[in-house]
C-alpha cells in the first residue's frame, strides 16, 4: 500500500473511530489505576489500548500518533513488569497523552511537532530513572532526551493494512456490529415506520365491511332457501326453476369466493400490522442509547477539576445502561457538566475541612439514572457541606431581589429557587471555574427545553441533591388522547396527575371560580374548549371528564368531552413557518391516520393564568337531569368470568347502554330466545356451551341470524380470530384492549350510540 493510499480519507476516518474507542478505554483504566496503581487487569487493558493505537497510527501513516502511543506503552509495560510504580504524576502524563492522541486523530487538528516533542520529552523525564536499567523506547539511547521514533523492526504482514481498517469497521458493543448512521436517516426511518404502522390500521374498517358483506351474503342465501321451501308446493315453470337454481349456484359460488378473499385479507392485515409494529419498535430502538454515552469524559473532568482545586473527589455512577434517546443525551451533556462542576467547586470541601467535620478526606459525588413513568430520572448528589442558606439570603438582599423583611421570612425551598436566577452567584470573585453567575440558570433553561424539570434539595453539612426529570425520548411521547370540540388532542402522560369523572355536585364555587376537591386541596377547573379555542359540543352526560395536569407547583383540572385512550405517539414537529402555536407543542398521527395535536402543558398553564388575570375565564355549564329518556340499546354480555362480566357491564352502562349478563353459552342462548337484544358480546371458552357453538346456533336461527355479534377472548392468535369470524362473529377483540376504550369503540361501530 502506497503512502497516498495509507492517507486515504476513509482510513483516517476509521483511525479516528478507533482512537475514540481506545482513548475511552485508556481514560477509564487510568482513573482506576490512580486509585490502585497495581491492578493487573487495568494495566493490561491500558497497555493493549496504547499498543492498538500505535499500530493503527503506523498503518495510516500518522507518525505523531505512533510516537505518543509508543512512550505511553513503554510506561505501562514498565508498570506491568514492576520496574515502575505509577504515581499521580505518571497518571497525569498518561491522561495528557490520551488527550493528545484524541487530538491527533481528529481531522484538521492543530497539533504541531513541538506539541509531540514536548510530550515525549515529558515522558522521558518521568522515565529517566529507569533509562539506564532498560531502554524504554525502541531505538533511543539512554543518554538521549528524545529522538523521533523509527519504523519498527518487525514489519507488519502485507495483509495488515487491509485487515486493520476492517477491524475498525467491526467496532463492537456487546458483541454486535456498530455502524455510523446520521441522525437525519434515523429520523427518516422512524417517520416512515410510524407511517407504515398507521397505514396498516386503515385495513381494519375494510375488514369490518367485508365481515358485514359476508353476513349479508349468508342471509341472502338463507332467504333464497326459505323462498324455495315456500314455493315447493307451487307449480313453477321450467324457466323459474332454472332461474332459482342459477341464483342458488351463483350465491353459493360468490359466498365461497368471498370467504376465501375475506380470509386472505384478514391474514394479510394481521401479518402487515405485526411486521409494521416490529419495524416501528426496531426503528425506535435505533434511536436509543445507554446513558453511559453522555458520561464520556465526565469522570475524568471531575478528577481533573478536583486536583486543580486541591480536593479529593470520586464520581460514582449508577444506571449507565439506562436507555435514552440520542437527542436527549446530546442535550443533557451540558447541564450535567454544569452540575458536576458545581458539585466539585461549591459542594465538596477541601480534605482538611472534611477531616475537621468528621468526614473522609475524599468527597463522593453520586449520579444515578433510572426510568420512571416514561421519564428519565437523574439524581446527582454530593456529601459536601450543602448550601449556605444565610449566604443566599444575604445575596438576595444585596442584589435587591427581595426586601430584607421579606427575605428574612423566606423558606429553604424559596431561597434555593434564587440559585436558578440568571446572574445569581455566591462567589465574590470570578475564577476559571465559577463566579460569573452562569450555571444553574443555564441548567434549568436546557432542562426545560427538554420539557423536563430540575429541583434542588440540601441538608446543611451533609450535601446537596439535584433531581432532574426529562422525557426518555423526544421522538415518541406516551399520551392521553382526548376529544375537545370534536377534535383529538393529546396530553403527555408525564404531566398528568390523574383522570377523573366529576358529578355536578362535585363542582364548587370558591371566590367566583369553579373548583373541585383533589388530594386535600381545591383545584381550579377550566374548560379545554376555551383554552384551545374550540366550539363547545352539546353533551347530555351528567359526569364531566377532567384531566388533572401539573407543572411543578401549578395544578389545574381541564374539562374535556371524552377520553379516547392512551397512545404512544410519534412526535411530528410543526411547520416552522407557523411559529409558536399557543398551547400546542407538536403533532402526531393516530392509528386511523387522523391528526392529533400534542398539548404544551407548560404553555397551557400560562394561558390559564392569563385568563385569570384578565377575568376572562369562562365557567363550565353543569348538565341537568331533564334530558328526555329515549329507548336505550340493549346488549347481552356472555362470559363465565365474574370479573370480566362486571368490567364489561360497567363500561357499557357508563356509556348509556342497557346491559344483561349470562354466565355461559347455554345461559346466553336461553336469554337470546326469550328477550330482544341489539348486540351479543360473548367469550369463547365457557362451560356447557362455548362461544363458537352459541354463535353457530344464533346464525341458524331465522329470528336471530342478523343480530350483530362481538367475540371477546383472551386468545389473540390468528387461528383463534379466524375461528371466531368464520363462525359468524362480526368483530373479534382481545380482552387486553379494554383499557383504551377499544370495546366501546367497537360497540359503537357495530350498533351506534347508546340511544336509539
For the segment 547-571, the average pLDDT, to the nearest whole number, is 84
According to CATH, the topology of domain 291-471 is Heat Shock Protein 90 (3.30.565)
504-509, long-range: CB < 8 A, 24+ apart: 504/542, 504/544, 504/622, 504/623, 507/544, 507/620, 507/622
According to CATH, the topology of domain 634-751 is Rossmann fold (3.40.50)
- The span from the CA of 74 to the CA of 67, in Å, is 11
SS3 sequence, 311-329? CEEEEEEECCCCEEEHHHH
- The span from the CA of 533 to the CA of 644, in Å, is 40
Strand partners, 545: 501, 560
Of all residues in the chain, the percent with pLDDT exceeding 70 is 85
Better-scored residue on pLDDT, 664 or 296: 664
Q: pLDDT band at 139, cuts 50/70/90?
A: very low
Q: Which of 471, 421, 473 is CA-nearest to residue 444?
A: 421
Q: Which of 71, 56, 177 is CA-nearest to residue 127?
A: 71
Angle between helices 298-308 and 326-342 (to 10 degrees): 20
Q: Give yes or no for residue 672 having a pLDDT over 50.
A: yes
Kindly give, in sequence order, each residue whose CB lies less than 8 Å from that of residue 607, ignoring residues fewer than 6 positions away: 531, 582, 583
For the segment 376-399, the average pLDDT, to the nearest whole number, is 88
Q: pLDDT band at 182, cuts 50/70/90?
A: confident
For 18-74, the pLDDT digits (tens) are 888 888 888 888 888 888 888 888 898 898 888 888 888 887 778 888 999 999 988
- Per-residue model confidence (pLDDT) at position 439: 64
Buried (b) or exposed (e) across 277-315, using 16+ Cβ within 10 A?
eebbeebbeebbbbbbebbebbbbbbbbbbeeeebbbbb
| Rg, Å, the chain Cα set | 36
SS3 sequence, 634-692? EEEEECCCHHHHHHHHHHHHHCCCEEEEECCHHHHHHHHHHCCCCEEEECCCCCCCCHH
For 501-537, the pLDDT digits (tens) are 888 788 887 666 788 888 777 888 888 888 888 887 7
User: Are β-strands 554-560 and 562-570 bridged in parallel, bridged antiparallel, or unpaired?
Assistant: unpaired
Angle between helices 718-726 and 691-700 (to 10 degrees): 30
Task: Kindly tell me the sign of the dihedral angle through the C-alpha atoms of 397, 402, 407, 412.
Answer: negative
Indicate the SS3 state at residue 562: strand
- Per-residue model confidence (pLDDT) at position 551: 74
Is the Cβ–Cβ distance between 637 and 662 less than 8 Å? yes
Give the largest CA-CA distance in the chain: 128
- Per-residue model confidence (pLDDT) at position 216: 84
The mean pLDDT value of the chain amounts to 79
> Do 634-751 and 3-177 have the same topology in CATH?
no
C-alpha distances in Å from residue 463, one per residue of 358, 410, 564: 14, 21, 46
Task: Kindly tell me the sign of the dihedral angle through the C-alpha atoms of 671, 672, 678, 679.
Answer: positive
C-alpha distances in Å from residue 461, one per residue of 283, 434, 455, 466, 660: 48, 21, 19, 16, 66
- Per-residue model confidence (pLDDT) at position 735: 64
Extended beta strands in 398-462, E state: 453-459
- The Cα angle at residue 465 between residues 460 and 467, in degrees rounded to 5: 150
Which stretch of DSSP H or E encloses residue 528?
helix 528-531
- Per-residue model confidence (pLDDT) at position 435: 40
The CATH superfamily label for domain 476-614 reads: CheA-289, Domain 4 (2.40.50.180)
Is the Cβ–Cβ distance between 388 and 426 less than 8 Å? yes
Q: Give yes or no for residue 155 having a pLDDT over 50.
A: no
Better-scored residue on pLDDT, 545 or 630: 545
- Per-residue model confidence (pLDDT) at position 490: 93
CATH class of 3-177: mainly alpha
User: Are β-strands 476-484 and 658-662 bridged in parallel, bridged antiparallel, or unpaired?
Assistant: unpaired
Flag the least confident range among 97-106, 119-128, 200-209. Answer: 200-209
Angle between helices 40-59 and 63-80 (to 10 degrees): 160
Q: Give yes or no for residue 555 having a pLDDT over 50.
A: yes
Q: Give yes or no for residue 451 having a pLDDT over 60.
A: yes
- Per-residue model confidence (pLDDT) at position 9: 57
For 348-371, the pLDDT digits (tens) are 999 999 999 899 999 999 999 998
- Per-residue model confidence (pLDDT) at position 227: 82
Q: Which of 672, 667, 718 is CA-nearest to residue 690?
A: 667
Task: Kindly tell me the sign of the dihedral angle through the C-alpha atoms of 50, 305, 37, 40.
Answer: negative
For the segment 298-311, the average pLDDT, to the nearest whole number, is 86
- Per-residue model confidence (pLDDT) at position 170: 42
Q: Give yes or no for residue 276 having a pLDDT over 70.
A: yes
- Per-residue model confidence (pLDDT) at position 756: 53
Q: Which of 464, 498, 490 is CA-nearest to residue 380?
A: 464
Flag the least confident range among 376-385, 502-511, 537-546, 649-658. Answer: 537-546
Q: Give yes or no for residue 133 having a pLDDT over 50.
A: no
Q: Give yes or no for residue 5 having a pLDDT over 70.
A: no
Q: pLDDT band at 135, cuts 50/70/90?
A: very low
Q: How many CB atoms lie within 10 A of CB 100?
A: 22
- The span from the CA of 218 to the CA of 701, in Å, is 12
Of all residues in the chain, the percent with pLDDT exceeding 90 is 10
- Per-residue model confidence (pLDDT) at position 325: 83
Strand partners, 375: 372, 471
- Per-residue model confidence (pLDDT) at position 373: 65
For 413-435, the pLDDT digits (tens) are 888 888 888 767 665 544 445 54
- Per-residue model confidence (pLDDT) at position 72: 92
Domain spans, the chain = 3-177, 185-287, 291-471, 476-614, 634-751
- Is the pTM higher than 0.75? no
Q: pLDDT band at 149, cuts 50/70/90?
A: very low
For 727-743, the pLDDT digits (tens) are 888 888 876 655 556 78
Q: pLDDT band at 171, cuts 50/70/90?
A: very low
For the segment 273-291, the average pLDDT, to the nearest whole number, is 83
Amino acid at each position: 500500500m502506497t503512502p497516498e493510499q495509507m492517507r486515504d480519507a476513509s482510513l483516517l476516518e476509521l483511525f479516528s473511530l478507533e482512537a475514540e474507542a481506545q482513548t475511552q478505554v485508556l481514560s477509564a483504566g487510568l482513573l482506576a489505576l490512580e486509585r490502585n496503581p497495581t491492578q493487573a487487569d487495568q494495566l493490561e487493558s491500558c497497555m493493549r489500548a496504547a499498543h492498538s493505537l500505535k499500530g493503527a497510527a503506523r498503518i495510516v501513516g500518522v507518525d505523531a500518533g505512533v510516537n505518543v502511543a509508543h512512550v505511553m506503552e513503554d510506561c505501562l509495560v514498565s508498570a506491568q513488569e514492576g520496574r515502575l510504580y505509577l504515581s499521580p504524576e505518571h497518571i497525569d502524563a498518561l491522561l495528557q497523552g490520551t488527550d493528545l492522541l484524541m487530538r491527533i486523530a481528529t481531522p484538521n487538528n492543530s497539533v504541531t511537532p513541538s506539541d509531540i516533542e514536548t510530550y515525549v520529552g515529558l515522558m522521558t523525564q518521568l522515565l529517566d530513572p529507569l533509562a539506564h536499567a532498560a531502554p524504554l523506547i525502541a531505538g533511543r539511547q539512554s543518554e538521549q532526551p528524545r529522538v523521533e521514533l523509527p519504523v519498527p523492526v518487525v514489519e507488519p504482514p502485507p495483509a495488515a493494512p487491509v485487515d486493520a481498517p476492517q477491524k475498525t469497521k467491526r467496532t463492537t458493543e456487546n458483541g454486535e456490529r456498530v455502524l455510523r448512521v446520521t441522525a437525519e436517516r434515523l429520523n427518516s426511518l422512524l417517520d416512515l415506520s410510524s407511517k407504515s404502522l398507521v397505514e396498516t390500521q386503515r385495513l381494519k374498517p375494510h375488514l369490518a365491511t367485508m365481515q358485514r358483506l359476508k353476513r349479508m351474503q349468508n342471509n341472502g342465501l338463507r332467504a333464497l332457501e326459505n323462498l324455495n321451501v315456500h314455493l315447493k308446493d307451487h307449480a313453477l315453470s321450467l324457466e323459474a326453476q332454472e332461474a332459482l337454481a342459477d341464483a342458488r349456484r351463483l350465491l353459493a359460488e360468490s359466498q365461497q369466493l368471498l370467504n376465501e378473499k375475506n380470509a386472505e385479507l384478514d391474514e394479510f392485515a394481521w401479518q402487515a400490522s405485526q411486521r409494521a409494529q416490529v419495524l416501528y419498535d426496531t426503528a425506535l430502538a435505533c434511536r436509543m442509547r445507554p446513558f453511559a454515552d453522555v458520561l464520556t469524559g465526565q469522570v475524568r473532568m471531575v478528577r481533573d477539576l478536583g486536583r486543580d482545586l486541591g480536593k479529593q473527589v470520586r464520581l460514582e455512577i449508577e444506571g449507565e445502561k439506562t436507555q435514552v434517546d440520542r437527542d436527549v443525551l446530546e442535550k443533557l451533556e451540558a447541564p450535567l457538566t454544569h452540575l458536576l462542576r458545581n458539585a466539585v467547586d461549591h459542594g465538596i470541601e477541601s480534605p482538611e475541612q472534611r477531616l475537621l467535620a468528621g468526614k473522609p478526606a475524599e468527597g463522593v459525588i453520586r449520579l444515578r439514572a433510572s426510568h420512571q413513568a416514561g421519564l428519565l430520572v437523574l439524581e446527582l448528589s454530593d456529601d459536601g457541606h450543602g448550601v449556605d442558606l444565610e449566604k443566599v439570603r444575604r445575596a438576595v438582599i444585596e442584589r435587591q431581589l427581595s426586601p430584607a423583611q421579606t427575605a428574612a421570612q423566606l423558606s429553604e425551598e424559596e431561597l434555593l429557587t434564587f440559585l436558578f436566577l440568571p446572574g445569581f452567584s455566591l462567589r465574590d470573585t470570578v475564577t476559571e471555574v465559577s463566579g460569573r453567575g452562569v450555571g444553574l440558570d443555564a441548567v434549568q433553561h436546557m432542562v426545560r427545553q427538554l420539557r423536563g424539570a430540575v429541583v434542588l434539595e440540601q441538608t446543611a453539612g451533609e450535601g446537596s441533591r439535584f433531581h432532574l426529570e426529562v422525557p426518555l425520548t423526544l421522538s415518541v411521547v406516551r399520551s392521553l388522547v382526548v376529544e375537545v370540540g370534536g377534535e383529538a388532542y393529546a396530553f403527555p402522560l408525564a404531566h398528568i396527575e390523574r383522570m377523573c369523572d366529576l358529578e355536578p355536585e362535585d363542582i364548587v364555587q370558591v371566590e367566583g371560580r369553579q373548583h373541585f376537591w383533589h388530594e386535600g386541596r381545591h383545584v381550579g377547573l377550566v374548560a379545554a374548549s376555551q383554552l384551545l379555542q374550540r366550539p363547545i359540543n352539546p353533551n347530555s352526560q351528567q359526569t364531566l371528564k377532567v384531566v388533572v395536569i401539573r407543572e411543578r407547583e401549578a395544578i389545574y383540572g381541564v374539562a374535556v368531552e371524552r377520553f379516547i385512550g392512551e397512545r404512544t405517539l410519534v412526535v411530528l414537529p410543526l411547520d416552522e413557518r407557523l411559529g409558536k402555536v399557543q398551547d400546542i407543542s407538536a403533532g402526531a398521527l393516530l392509528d386511523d391516520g387522523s391528526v392529533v395535536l400534542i398539548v404544551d402543558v407548560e404553555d397551557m398553564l400560562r394561558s390559564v393564568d392569563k385568563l385569570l388575570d384578565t377575568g376572562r375565564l369562562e365557567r363550565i355549564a353543569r348538565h341537568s337531569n331533564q334530558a328526555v329518556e329515549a329507548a336505550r340499546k340493549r346488549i347481552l354480555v356472555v362470559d363465565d368470568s365474574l370479573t370480566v362480566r362486571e368490567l364489561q357491564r360497567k363500561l357499557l352502562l357508563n356509556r348509556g347502554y342497557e346491559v344483561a349478563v349470562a354466565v355461559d353459552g347455554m345461559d346466553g342462548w336461553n336469554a337470546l330466545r326469550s328477550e330482544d337484544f341489539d348486540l351479543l358480546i360473548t367469550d369463547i371458552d365457557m362451560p356447557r356451551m362455548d362461544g363458537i357453538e352459541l354463535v353457530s346456533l344464533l346464525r341458524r336461527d331465522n329470528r336471530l341470524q342478523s343480530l350483530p355479534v362481538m367475540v371477546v377472548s383472551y386468545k389473540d392468535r390468528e387461528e383463534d380470530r379466524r375461528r371466531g369470524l368464520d363462525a359468524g362473529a362480526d368483530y373479534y377483540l382481545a380482552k387486553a384492549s379494554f383499557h383504551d376504550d377499544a370495546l366501546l369503540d367497537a360497540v359503537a361501530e357495530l350498533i351506534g350510540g347508546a340511544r336509539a
